Structure formats: structure tokens, C-alpha cells
């Protein structure tokens, strides 16, 4: 049966070859195994169940958590000639019933349903009358309480499967599952863990970066303007933030849409529609927006505030570049956000999850502070160990020069102290730049020795610099009615001349994608067709397909078929129009040379089965009381790899026996070093210790401490 798969991929989806893991997943299902498929967002999970659904007799059921995405998915299938339908609460009773009757007749190859349907016994009875070879559970992490998106109705799935007369195969699909969540999914859906297809979480077309200590609004506006023609999402933390940001962008004449749970249903879906149909290029939203959004041509995702954990971050950021083209994910970091997130966690109703959530928040903050590869940090977080720096992210490519700003820092810090550490950023900047503002004189700040010592700079520039000092945690912010500045212990060291401060030049905004006139022309053709057919443009062709057209410039039907994303049905429906547009373009631009290369590069690495579990293997041996040395020998690994595994286990809250890994006599030394150096950074701690105490021990100890502390906080 597998030999039918590739021809279907050609004829319907118009792709040349399978991506990593797809073939194995299809094979596994066709051999009748329940299977779990873990691939990153945009990795191509849908095809893993859509192709088996076409090959197998009967109708495959797809469980999908959000109504908004079902329609686009079904539209996309219909576009390539695969009969499909969805049933959810957006339909009237009558419409739903009609589709059920059609489904019983076997009219569809795929039927998408919302999990809540499974709570109705009548609906389950209807399913029993259908021939169902396959159940695909999309966003399968929703089944687990350990995940970040638990949906109780997912628990009905196994109940339903048990009731069906035939024994359908089950395929679970998710982009974000830590090993623990994966285990939970397998257990609940009766999947043998051997049948795990996992391709690794790396997204080779995304470049991540964290921007700190810069004016974020200014950065954002510049960025959007620089990438005006491209679609992007801006995530903000609260509804209020979204509203404010949206207004600001509108003022800048940026064509933005907005989305949050406080808006009416109708307005929300209108705004979503404007974004999906390329009417609005930017979507400003809370995390309520986007789960399962299939829009494939999103070129950037900016987080205006810190998300609450890495799972949410990677999922949201991962909405960029689903078409495989280069895209950017930018996080604008400011330390105050950590406090806001902590506050939100504190307010949350489920007390039992607080420890876990604080720990996740800590890891999110660590991400913002790491100086190593950001993509690698993410991969390690999700349990991959044999990773390498990506060479694309902000940290890997940072070539900015550092400037010594110790003097300026001392001026600001001493001014803050002289003002009594009771005022905010703006007033401090005014004093430093010698403003004649009434408040400054009324409070007598014009008499301070620091008044006007930075008068060669603008107030805005100084206030940006203060932001930078906050991001370096040299200044702290006391939240109250008005946020006020104080000098942190690290800041005091600067005042005492114990350390220097360096600042990188400001990060410049980049242009994600090249401008190409033919691409623009084809975009217009696509938009026209999409409007006429009342579907979003990306359902007609992805940006990747349009760029491949620019590169190949097909002149005949045969040539058009070689374009990635063009199958037979799409050739029939749209070939003529696009071929004509390309010809017309040639006539007016005879010298045109495309900016794009043919077909996006496909880096093929073999999918490992259940890769990323290597650390669990190590953990087993650790539990059997083997030393690090012994584990390394037995597994043929480097000592550092084994150490890495154990840290990973500790992070995943597996019960690592610290006492066997850190010799007793080092504990008091570590204790003392941490008391002296704090535990923000490892190097100062390490510097205080004898050579024999390794980085590994320091890390493990610090990790152990923060865990112990969170535990006592809760108790």
C-alpha cells in the first residue's frame, strides 16, 4: 500500500518528495500500528494522516481542537480534490445532520470533528454506523494534564474508540510534547511507544532572536515598516496591551488587525478573516489567537512581551514560516514582564500547578538571558541532546561591537541614589539631561550634582539607556502605583568600580524576504482568485509555490506541473491564469531575473525513532547506581554528554540523585560560593571554587537549590 503514497503526494499535493518522518508515519499507520507523530509546527503532520485516509477504505475521523482551523483545512483538501467535511458548533443542527448522513453514505475520505462532539451518545452511535479505518488526533498534547493546553473533552477519545465496532488505527499528532507528555499520550491512546515517529524540533527556516534594552515600540514599528508587504503576528500579554498596541500601529498607518478574547465573536472572526485573506498584514493578538492557524505565509512573529513558558513560546513563534521559507521570531524582552507573569501565575486558580509554572517561567527567562544558540536552547528544552548551534539565530550571528559604558552607567546610578530611589525612568532622565521641567525644580533636583551631567544627550536616549540598565539588572523596578527605580546589588558593584559594563550597539531591524516584482504580480493573481472563491490566498498557493514559479518561470503546462505545490487539479484550475500572468510580466519586463532559487532547499536527515530519549537511557543506568564514568563507558558516550543527559533529567524533574554526583565535601564550598556570588550566573560561582568542582556540579547544585526554594515557597 505504501507504494500508492508517493503518487498521491505528486498528483494531489504537488510535492516531489516526502519530508522528514512523513513516509515512516504513513508506513506505520498502513501497517496497522497505533502511532504517535511528533514534528515541529509546519513540519507537515497533516499529510501523515491525509494520505493514509486516501488509501484506506472508509472515512477517517480527525479530532481537532479549534473550530477556526477546520474550515481552512477542509477547504485546502477540497482544493486538491480530496472529499472532506467538518462537523462542529458553527453548523446548524440541520447542516450537521446532513453531513452525518453524507458521511454514513461514505461521501468523505476525511471528517473533521471537535472533541466536544464525543460527549454526545447520539453522535457516537452515528459514528458506529460508519466505516472508520483511522482516527487522527491532532494537537494530541491536549489530552495530557502535563501539557500546557489540557482539554478535558480529549479524554473522551479513547471512550469513543472503545465503542466503535471496527478497530480503527489511531494516529496522535503534536508539535509540542515533552517526554512526559508523550508518554501520557501513548498511555491514554493505547499507542506502543515503539511506534513513535519523532523528527526533532528544529525549524531550519526560522531564526530566533531576543532584543533587550532597546525601545521596543520603536523597534517594532521600524521592523513592521521594513517588512511592510509581509504578514506577521505581534503577540502581546493582555487584552489591554493588544488594544493599545493596535491603536499605536493604526496611527502609524500600519494596516493591522487585532484579536483577543474580550472582543465580540463577530468582530473577532472579521479581524481574523482580514488577516487570513491578506487584507491586513499584521495581526496584534493575545495568545488566544492562532492555535491551528494554517496561514502558511507568515514571515515573522514578534512577542512584544514575555510568554509564560517555552511550550507556548515555541508554538506561537512556530506559526512563522510554515511554508518552509525563511522567517523570523523575535522576542522583545523586558525584566518587568517576568514580574507580570509571576503575578498572573499567582492569581491562577489551580494552586497545585504553581510550582511547575514558576519553574517553566524561570526557563523562559533563562532563554532570554542565554548567550548561546537560541534554537539549541529550545531543542534542549524539549529533550533533544545531540544538538549543534544553528548558525542563524540572533546569538549565533551577533557581530555587534561592544562599547564600554561604565561611566554613563555610574552617572545614572548615582543620580537614582541621589533622587532617593523613589522616582521613575522619565523623571530620572530629565534630571540627568538638565530639564527645566516644573517637577524637577519643585523637587529641588536641579540642585543635585548629577543634574544635567548627561545634557549632551536627549532625554529619550537617556531613558532608553535606563531601560538597558534595567535589562542588565543593574537597576531594579519597584512596582507600585508608579514604577520606581532602585539600584540593585549588582549596580552597587558598578558604582564601587568593581566591574565594568558593556553595551552592544543597538540591533538593526532586518528585512526577512527579498522584494521581487514578479512575486508581487503573482500575489495579486492569487488574491484575486482567492477572493472569487472565498477562501484565504494560502489555500490557493503557498508563498513557497509562488516563489518557485518566479524561479522556474514556467511557460507550458508541463513546466507548471514541476512547480512545488502544483498538483493535477491545481494545474487544471489555475494553470492558465498564472501562465498568462507570467507571460504578460515577461513582455513588460524582458530583463527580469528572479531573486529566488528553484525549490526551497530540503535538508534531509533521517527521522530517528524516539530520538531525544537518549537521556532516559542514561537515567536508567544512573538509577542502577552506575557512576558517570561507567555510564559513559557502557554507552560509548563522552562524559560531557552523560552529564548533559543528567542535567536534562533534573530539569524534567526526574529523580536524579544529587548526593552521588556532587561529593559531600564540596557541598559547604558550593553553599558559600553561592551565598557570595548569587546564582544569576554560573561563572562567578565557579570562579570562587577550587578547580575540581566542575561546571556540571555547579549547574546541578544551582538547579537543585532553585527547586528546593520553589518547594518551600509553596509549602
Ligand X SMILES: Nc1ncnc2c1ncn2[C@@H]1O[C@H](COP(=O)(O)OP(=O)(O)OP(=O)(O)O)[C@@H](O)[C@H]1O
Provide the 8-state DSSP code for 290.
Answer: -
Q: How far is the CB of 292 from Mg ion (least distance, A)?
A: 7
The listed partner (ligand X, Zn ion, Mg ion, none) that binds 394, CB under 5 to 8 Å by sort, is: none
Distance CA 200, CA 388 (A): 12
Q: How far is the CB of 599 from ligand X (least distance, A)?
A: 9
Provide the 8-state DSSP code for 237.
Answer: S
The listed partner (Mg ion, ligand X, Zn ion, none) that binds 396, CB under 5 to 8 Å by sort, is: Zn ion
487 closest CA partner among 420, 577, 402, 406: 420
Footprint (CB under 6 A) of ligand X, residues 524-543: 542
The listed partner (Zn ion, Mg ion, ligand X, none) that binds 126, CB under 5 to 8 Å by sort, is: none
Q: How far is the CB of 388 from Zn ion (least distance, A)?
A: 9
Q: What is the total count of residues that contact ligand X (CB under 6 A)?
A: 18
Distance CA 28, CA 453 (A): 71
Q: Which stretch binds ligand X (CB under 6 A): 16-24, 240-248, 258-266, 279-287?
A: 16-24
Distance CA 692, CA 684 (A): 15
Under the binding rule (CB under 6 A), the answer on residue 127 touching ligand X is no
Binding mask 395-424 for Zn ion (x = CB under 5 A): -x----------------------------
Under the binding rule (CB under 6 A), the answer on residue 39 touching ligand X is yes
Q: What is the DSSP string of 434-491?
A: T---HHHHHTTGGGSTTTTTTTTS-HHHHHHHHHHHHHTTSEEEE-SSS-EEEE-HHH
Sheet holding 206-212, edge to edge: 206-212, 327-333, 298-303, 231-235, 282-285, 256-259
Binder among 18, 314, 382, 519 for ligand X (CB under 6 A): 18
Under the binding rule (CB under 6 A), the answer on residue 289 touching ligand X is no
Looking at the Cβ atoms of 165 and 389, the one nearer to Zn ion is: 389
Contact yes or no for 466/460 (Cβ under 8 A): no
Contact yes or no for 131/79 (Cβ under 8 A): no
The listed partner (Zn ion, ligand X, Mg ion, none) that binds 645, CB under 5 to 8 Å by sort, is: none
Binding mask 316-335 for ligand X (x = CB under 6 A): ------xx------------
Q: Which neighbouring-strand residues pair with 63?
A: 113, 137
Contact yes or no for 134/32 (Cβ under 8 A): no
Contact yes or no for 209/507 (Cβ under 8 A): yes
The listed partner (Zn ion, ligand X, Mg ion, none) that binds 175, CB under 5 to 8 Å by sort, is: ligand X
Q: How far is the CB of 419 from ligand X (least distance, A)?
A: 50
Three-state secondary-structure class, residue 297: coil
Under the binding rule (CB under 6 A), the answer on residue 205 touching ligand X is no
Q: What's the full length of the chain, in residues?
A: 715
The listed partner (Mg ion, Zn ion, ligand X, none) that binds 191, CB under 5 to 8 Å by sort, is: none
Q: How far is the CB of 77 from Mg ion (least distance, A)?
A: 13
The position carrying cell 571554587 is 689
Contact yes or no for 210/394 (Cβ under 8 A): yes
Footprint (CB under 6 A) of ligand X, residues 533-592: 542
Q: How far is the CB of 296 from ligand X (least distance, A)?
A: 4
Q: How far is the CB of 516 from ligand X (least distance, A)?
A: 20
Q: What is the DSSP string of 91-114?
A: S-HHHHHHHHHHHHTT--SEEEE-
Looking at the Cβ atoms of 137 and 700, the one nearer to ligand X is: 137
With b for 16 or more beta-carbon neighbours within 10 A and e for fewer, the 154-163 pattern comes to bbbbbebbee
Looking at the Cβ atoms of 46 and 435, the one nearer to ligand X is: 46
Provide the 8-state DSSP code for 86.
Answer: E
Looking at the Cβ atoms of 292 and 483, the one nearer to ligand X is: 292
Binder among 43, 115, 232, 567 for ligand X (CB under 6 A): 43
With b for 16 or more beta-carbon neighbours within 10 A and e for fewer, the 609-637 pattern comes to ebbbbbbbebbebbeeebebeebbeebeb
Q: Which stretch binds Zn ion (CB under 5 A): 384-392, 460-468, 490-498, 538-546?
A: 384-392
Q: In the complex, which residue's CB is closest to Mg ion? A: 45
The listed partner (Mg ion, Zn ion, ligand X, none) that binds 542, CB under 5 to 8 Å by sort, is: ligand X
Q: Which stretch binds ligand X (CB under 6 A): 40-48, 385-393, 403-411, 667-675?
A: 40-48
600 closest CA partner among 391, 393, 323: 323
Q: Which stretch binds Mg ion (CB under 5 A): 44-52, 258-266, 672-680, 705-713?
A: 44-52
Looking at the Cβ atoms of 185 and 206, the one nearer to Zn ion is: 206
Q: What is the DSSP string of 566-625?
A: --HHHHHHHHHHHHHHHHHHHHH-TT---SSPSS------PPEETTT-HHHHHHHHHHTT
Instruction: Give the Cα-Cα-Cα angle 246, 250, 254 (nearest 5 degrees).
Output: 105
Three-state secondary-structure class, residue 556: coil
Distance CA 559, CA 214 (A): 49
Q: How far is the CB of 571 from ligand X (least distance, A)?
A: 16
Binding mask 155-194 for ligand X (x = CB under 6 A): --------------------x-------------------
Binder among 361, 373, 466, 698 for Zn ion (CB under 5 A): 373
- Neighbouring residues of 705: CB distance < 8 A, sequence distance ≥ 6: 674, 679
- The dihedrals phi and psi of 345, each to the nearest 5 degrees, come to -65, -45
Q: Which stretch binds ligand X (CB under 6 A): 24-32, 43-51, 54-62, 706-714?
A: 43-51
Q: Which stretch binds ligand X (CB under 6 A): 36-44, 349-357, 423-431, 548-556?
A: 36-44
Under the binding rule (CB under 6 A), the answer on residue 15 touching ligand X is yes
Binder among 5, 36, 44, 548 for ligand X (CB under 6 A): 44
Q: Which stretch binds ligand X (CB under 6 A): 39-47, 127-135, 240-248, 609-617?
A: 39-47
Under the binding rule (CB under 6 A), the answer on residue 313 touching ligand X is no
Q: How far is CA 40 from CA 20, 264, 322, 652, 678, in A?
A: 11, 32, 10, 20, 37
Under the binding rule (CB under 6 A), the answer on residue 375 touching ligand X is no
Binder among 364, 390, 551, 693 for Zn ion (CB under 5 A): 390
Under the binding rule (CB under 6 A), the answer on residue 45 touching ligand X is yes
Q: Which stretch of DSSP H or E encloses residue 543?
A: helix 543-552
Looking at the Cβ atoms of 161 and 393, the one nearer to Zn ion is: 393
Distance CA 368, CA 578 (A): 44
Q: Name the maximum alpha-carbon separation found in the chain.
A: 87
Looking at the Cβ atoms of 538 and 619, the one nearer to ligand X is: 538
107, HSE (Cβ side, Cα atoms, 13 Å): 11
The listed partner (ligand X, Mg ion, Zn ion, none) that binds 393, CB under 5 to 8 Å by sort, is: Zn ion
The listed partner (ligand X, Mg ion, Zn ion, none) that binds 56, CB under 5 to 8 Å by sort, is: none
Under the binding rule (CB under 6 A), the answer on residue 519 touching ligand X is no
Under the binding rule (CB under 5 A), the answer on residue 393 touching Zn ion is yes
C-alpha cell, 710: 520553589
Under the binding rule (CB under 6 A), the answer on residue 41 touching ligand X is yes
User: What is the binding site for Zn ion (CB under 5 A)?
Assistant: 373, 375, 389-390, 393, 396
User: What is the binding site for ligand X (CB under 6 A)?
Assistant: 15, 18-19, 22, 39, 41-47, 175, 294, 296, 322-323, 542
User: What is the binding site for Mg ion (CB under 5 A)?
Assistant: 45
Amino acid at each position: 500500500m505504501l507504494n500508492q503514497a508517493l503518487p498521491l503526494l505528486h498528483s494531489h499535493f504537488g510535492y516531489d518528495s516526502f519530508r522528514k518522518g512523513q513516509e515512516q508515519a504513513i508506513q506505520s499507520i498502513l501497517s496497522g500500528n497505533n502511532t504517535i507523530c511528533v514534528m515541529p509546527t509546519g513540519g507537515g503532520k497533516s499529510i501523515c494522516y491525509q494520505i493514509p485516509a486516501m488509501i484506506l477504505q472508509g472515512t477517517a475521523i480527525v479530532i481537532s481542537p479549534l473550530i477556526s482551523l477546520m474550515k481552512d483545512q477542509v477547504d485546502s483538501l477540497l482544493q486538491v480534490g480530496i472529499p472532506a467535511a467538518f462537523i462542529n458548533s458553527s453548523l446548524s443542527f440541520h447542516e450537521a445532520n446532513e453531513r452525518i448522513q453524507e458521511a454514513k453514505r461514505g461521501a468523505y475520505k476525511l471528517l473533521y470533528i471537535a472533541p466536544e462532539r464525543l460527549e454526545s451518545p447520539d453522535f457516537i452511535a452515528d459514528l458506529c454506523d460508519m466505516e472508520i479505518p483511522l482516527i487522527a488526533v491532532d494537537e494530541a498534547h491536549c489530552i495530557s494534564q502535563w501539557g500546557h493546553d489540557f482539554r478535558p473533552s480529549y479524554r473522551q477519545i479513547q471512550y469513543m474508540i472503545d465503542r466503535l465496532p471496527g478497530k480503527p488505527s489511531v494516529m496522535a499528532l503534536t508539535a509540542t510534547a515533552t517526554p512526559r507528555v508523550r508518554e501520557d499520550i501513548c498511555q491514554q491512546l493505547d499507542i506502543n511507544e515503539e511506534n513513535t515517529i519523532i523528527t526533532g524540533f528544529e525549524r531550519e527556516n526560522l531564526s530566533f532572536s531576543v532584543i533587550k534594552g532597546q525601545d521596543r515600540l520603536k523597534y517594532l514599528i521600524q521592523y513592521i515598516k521594513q517588512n511592510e508587504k509581509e504578514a506577521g503576528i505581534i503577540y502581546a500579554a493582555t487584552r489591554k496591551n493588544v488594544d493599545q498596541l493596535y491603536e499605536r500601529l493604526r496611527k502609524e498607518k500600519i494596516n493591522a488587525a487585532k484579536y483577543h478574547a474580550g472582543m465580540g465573536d463577530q468582530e473577532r472572526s472579521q479581524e481574523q478573516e482580514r488577516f487570513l485573506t491578506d487584507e491586513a498584514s499584521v495581526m496584534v493578538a493575545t495568545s488566544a489567537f492562532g492555535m491551528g492557524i494554517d496561514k502558511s505565509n507568515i514571515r515573522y512573529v514578534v512577542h512584544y512581551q514575555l510568554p509564560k513558558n517555552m511550550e507556548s513560546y515555541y508554538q506561537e513563534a512556530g506559526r512563522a514560516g510554515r511554508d518552509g521559507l525563511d522567517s523570523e521570531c523575535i522576542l522583545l524582552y523586558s525584566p518587568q514582564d517576568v514580574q507580570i507573569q509571576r503575578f498572573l501565575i499567582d492569581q491562577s486558580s489551580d494552586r497545585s500547578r504553581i510550582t511547575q509554572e514558576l519553574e517553566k517561567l524561570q526557563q523562559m527567562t533563562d532563554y532570554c538571558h542565554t548567550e548561546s544558540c537560541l534554537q539549541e536552547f529550545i531543542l534542549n528544552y524539549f529533550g533533544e541532546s545531540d544538538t549543534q548551534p544553528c548558525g542563524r539565530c540572533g546569538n549565533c550571528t551577533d557581530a555587534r561591537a561592544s562599547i564600554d559604558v561604565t561611566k554613563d552607567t555610574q552617572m545614572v546610578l548615582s543620580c537614582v541614589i541621589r533622587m532617593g530611589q523613589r522616582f521613575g525612568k522619565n523623571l530620572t532622565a530629565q534630571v540627568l539631561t538638565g530639564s527645566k521641567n516644573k517637577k524637577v525644580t519643585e523637587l529641588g533636583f536641579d540642585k543635585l550634582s548629577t543634574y544635567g551631567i548627561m545634557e549632551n544627550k536627549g532625554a529619550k536616549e537617556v531613558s532608553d539607556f535606563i531601560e538597558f540598565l534595567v535589562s542588565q539588572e543593574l537597576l531594579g523596578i519597584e512596582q507600585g502605583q508608579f514604577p520606581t527605580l532602585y539600584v540593585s546589588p549588582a549596580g552597587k558593584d558598578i558604582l564601587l568600580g568593581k566591574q565594568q559594563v558593556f553595551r552592544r550597539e543597538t540591533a538593526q531591524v532586518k528585512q526577512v524576504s527579498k522584494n521581487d516584482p514578479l512575486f508581487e504580480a503573482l500575489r495579486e493573481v492569487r488574491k484575486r482568485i482567492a477572493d472569487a472563491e472565498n477562501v484565504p490566498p494560502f489555500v490557493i498557493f503557498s508563498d513557497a509555490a509562488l516563489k518557485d514559479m518566479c524561479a522556474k518561470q514556467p511557460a507550458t503546462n508541463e513546466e507548471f506541473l514541476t512547480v512545488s505545490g502544483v498538483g493535477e487539479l491545481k494545474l487544471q484550475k489555475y494553470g492558465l491564469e498564472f501562465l498568462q500572468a507570467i507571460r504578460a510580466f515577461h513582455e513588460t519586463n524582458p530583463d527580469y531575473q528572479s531573486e529566488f532559487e528553484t525549490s526551497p532547499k530540503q535538508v534531509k536527515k533521517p527521522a530517528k525513532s524516539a530520538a531525544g530519549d537518549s537521556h532516559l537511557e542514561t537515567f536508567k543506568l544512573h538509577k542502577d547506581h552506575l557512576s558517570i564514568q561507567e555510564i559513559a563507558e557502557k554507552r560509548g558516550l563522552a562524559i560531557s554528554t552523560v552529564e548533559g543527559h543528567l542535567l536534562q533529567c533534573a530539569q524534567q524533574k526526574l529523580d536524579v540523585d544529587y548526593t552521588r554526583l556532587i561529593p559531600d565535601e564540596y557541598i559547604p564550598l558550593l553553599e558559600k560560593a553561592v551565598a557570595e556570588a548569587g546564582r544569576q550566573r554560573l561563572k562567578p560561582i565557579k570562579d570562587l571554587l577550587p578547580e575540581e568542582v566542575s561546571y556540571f556540579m555547579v549547574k546541578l547544585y544551582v538547579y537543585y537549590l532553585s527547586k528546593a526554594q520553589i518547594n518551600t515557597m509553596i509549602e
